[in-house]
């Protein structure tokens, strides 16, 4: 698991290259961050992006370059507190 929720990022664009065999990778991004799946990764059905909250224009954009074989890459945002 890679958790960006407490991260301070000085860059506007961040690229994460993630690959897994039979395991899984979970990326947690804060509310407001934009998430983009690289075009080379979209031909695989094992990448799911649940980080769908509206992006804040002043927040970073996270680009995922994923290469799962039999595994899974999941991107999500933390649950909102009530």
Could you read off the pLDDT of 23-46 as tens digits, one per residue? 889 999 999 999 998 866 655 557
The whole-angstrom separation of Cα 60 and Cα 37 is: 14
Could you read off the pLDDT of 3-20 as tens digits, one per residue? 999 988 889 999 998 888
The Cα angle at residue 59 between residues 55 and 60, in degrees rounded to 5: 100
| pLDDT for the residue numbered 2 | 92
Average pLDDT over residues 73-78: 91
The whole-angstrom separation of Cα 55 and Cα 49 is: 14
Residues ≥6 apart with Cβ < 8 Å to 47: 37, 41, 64, 66, 68, 72, 73, 74, 75
| Highest-scoring range by mean pLDDT, 16-20, 57-61, 69-73 | 57-61
Cβ atoms < 10 Å from Cβ of 38: 14
Average pLDDT over residues 48-63: 91
């Amino acid at each position: 698991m890679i958790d960006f929720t407490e991260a301070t990022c000085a860059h506007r664009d961040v690229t994460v290259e993630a690959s897994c065999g039979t395991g899984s990778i979970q990326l947690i991004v804060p509310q407001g961050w934009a998430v983009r799946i690289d075009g080379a990764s979209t031909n695989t059905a094992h990448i799911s992006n649940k980080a769908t909250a509206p992006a804040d224009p002043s927040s970073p954009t996270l680009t995922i370059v994923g290469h799962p074989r039999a595994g899974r890459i999941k991107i999500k945002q933390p649950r909102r507190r009530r």
